[in-house]
Structure 1
Amino acid sequence: MGLNRVTLVCSAIVWLSISGLSHAGVTSNYTRVAEPSEEMPLETFPPPAGLNAPEQVHITQGDHNGRGMIISWVTPINDDGSNVVQYWVADGDESTKKSAEASTSTYRYYDYASGFLHHATIKKLEYSTKYFYELGTGRSTRRFSFTTPPKAGPDVPYTFGVIGDLGQTYASNQTLYNYMSNPKGQAVLFVGDLSYADDHPNHDQRKWDSYGRFVEPSAAYQPWIWAAGNHEIDYAPSIGETQAFKPYKNRYHVPYRASQSTSPLWYSIKRASAYIIILSSYSAFDKYTPQNSWLESELKKVNREETPWLIVLVHSPWYNSNGYHYMEGESMRVTFEPWFVQNKVDIVFAGHVHAYERSERVSSIKYNITDGLSSPMKDPSAPIYITIGDGGNIEGIANDYTYPQPSYSAYREASFGHALLEIKNRTHALYTWHRNQDNEPVIADSLWVKNRHFLPEEE
Structure 2
Amino acid sequence: MGSGRPRSCRRLFNSLVEQGNLRLKTIVMGSLFLIFILINSFLLSSAPIGRAKKASTFIRSEWPSDDIPLGHEAFAIPKGYNAPQQVHITQGDYDGKAVIISWVTPEEPGSSKVQYGKLGHQYDLSAEGTWSNYTFCKYNSGYIHHCLLDGLEYSTKYFYKIGAGESAREFWFQTPPKIEPDAAYTFGIVGDLGQTFNSLSTLEHYMQSGGQTVLFVGDLSYADAYRDNDIGIRWDSWGRFVERNTAYQPWIWSAGNHEIDYMPDVGEIRPFKSYLNRYPTPFLASGSTNPLWYAIRRASAHIIVLSSYSPFVTYTPQWIWLRQELSKVNREQTPWLFVVMHVPMYSSNDVHFMEGESMRVAFESWFVQYKVDLIFAGHVHAYERSYRISNIHNDVSTRACFPVPDKSAPVYITVGDGGNQEGLAGKFRDPQPNYSAFREASYGHSILEIKNRTHAIYRWVRNDDGKKVPTDSVVFLNQYWASNLRQRRLKNHWWKNHIFAF
TM class by smaller structure: over 0.9
The residue that corresponds to 2:55 in the other structure is 27
How far residue 294 of structure 1 moved from its aligned partner, in angstroms, is: 0.2
> Bigger CA drift: 128-137 or 34-43?
34-43
The residue type paired with residue 38 of structure 1 is D
Could you tell me how far apart the structure 1 residues matched to 2:280 and 2:97 are? 16
Tell whether 2:86 aligns with 1:56.
yes
The residue that corresponds to 2:112 in the other structure is 83
Could you tell me how far apart the structure 1 residues matched to 2:395 and 2:439 are? 22
- Aligned pairs for 1:82-101 (under 5 A) are 82-90=111-119, 94=122, 97-101=124-128
Could you tell me how far apart the structure 1 residues matched to 2:178 and 2:143 are? 34
TM-score by length of 1: 0.93
- 8 Å CA contact 2:62–2:465 kept in 1: the answer is no
- 8 Å CA contact 1:234–1:246 kept in 2: the answer is yes
The residue type paired with residue 53 of structure 2 is G
- 8 Å CA contact 1:28–1:411 kept in 2: the answer is yes
How far residue 367 of structure 1 moved from its aligned partner, in angstroms, is: 5.1
The residue type paired with residue 109 of structure 1 is F
The residue type paired with residue 197 of structure 1 is A
The residue that corresponds to 1:440 in the other structure is 467
The residue that corresponds to 1:193 in the other structure is 219
The residue that corresponds to 2:368 in the other structure is 341
Q: SS of the counterpart of 2:265?
A: helix
Q: SS of the counterpart of 1:436?
A: strand
Q: SS of the counterpart of 2:244?
A: helix
> Bigger CA drift: 108-117 or 96-105?
96-105
How far residue 439 of structure 1 moved from its aligned partner, in angstroms, is: 2.2
- 8 Å CA contact 1:368–1:375 kept in 2: the answer is no
Distance 1:35 1:406, change over 3 A: farther
Could you tell me how far apart the structure 2 residues matched to 1:457 and 1:372 are? 33
Could you tell me how far apart the structure 2 residues matched to 1:334 and 1:16 are? 30
Could you tell me how far apart the structure 1 residues matched to 2:99 and 2:185 are? 18
How far residue 16 of structure 1 moved from its aligned partner, in angstroms, is: 11
Could you tell me how far apart the structure 1 residues matched to 2:373 and 2:399 are? 31
Match of 2:71 among 32, 43, 54: 43
Higher fraction of helix: 2
Q: SS of the counterpart of 2:423?
A: coil
Q: SS of the counterpart of 1:435?
A: strand
Q: SS of the counterpart of 1:43?
A: coil
The residue type paired with residue 84 of structure 1 is K
- Aligned pairs for 1:198-213 (under 5 A) are 198-202=224-228, 204-213=231-240
The residue that corresponds to 1:115 in the other structure is 142
Match of 2:302 among 275, 281, 284: 275
Could you tell me how far apart the structure 2 residues matched to 1:63 and 1:215 are? 23
Structure 2 segments unaligned to the other structure (5+ residues): 1-27, 487-502
The residue type paired with residue 63 of structure 1 is D
Match of 1:146 among 169, 173, 182: 173
How far residue 77 of structure 1 moved from its aligned partner, in angstroms, is: 3.1
Q: SS of the counterpart of 2:432?
A: coil
The number of equivalent residue pairs is: 447
TM-score by length of 2: 0.85
Deviations 1:156-192 (CA, angstroms, capped at 9, x unpaired):
100000000000000000000111122x200000000
Could you tell me how far apart the structure 2 residues matched to 1:271 and 1:40 are? 34
How far residue 114 of structure 1 moved from its aligned partner, in angstroms, is: 0.3
- 8 Å CA contact 1:31–1:413 kept in 2: the answer is no
The residue type paired with residue 77 of structure 2 is P
Q: SS of the counterpart of 1:217?
A: helix
Q: SS of the counterpart of 1:453?
A: helix
- 8 Å CA contact 1:368–1:377 kept in 2: the answer is no
- Aligned pairs for 1:210-229 (under 5 A) are 210-229=237-256
Distance 1:16 1:377, change over 3 A: closer
The residue type paired with residue 86 of structure 1 is Q
Could you tell me how far apart the structure 1 residues matched to 2:202 and 2:484 are? 35
Distance 1:16 1:373, change over 3 A: closer
How far residue 336 of structure 1 moved from its aligned partner, in angstroms, is: 0.2
The residue that corresponds to 1:357 in the other structure is 384
Deviations 1:195-233 (CA, angstroms, capped at 9, x unpaired):
000112246211100000000010000000000000000
Distance 1:310 1:32, change over 3 A: same
Tell whether 2:264 aligns with 1:234.
no
- Aligned pairs for 1:168-187 (under 5 A) are 168-182=195-209, 184-187=210-213
Q: Pairwise CA RMSD of aligned residues? A: 2.6
- 8 Å CA contact 1:432–1:445 kept in 2: the answer is yes
Q: SS of the counterpart of 1:375?
A: coil
Q: SS of the counterpart of 1:447?
A: strand
How far residue 412 of structure 1 moved from its aligned partner, in angstroms, is: 0.2
> Bigger CA drift: 144-153 or 449-458?
449-458
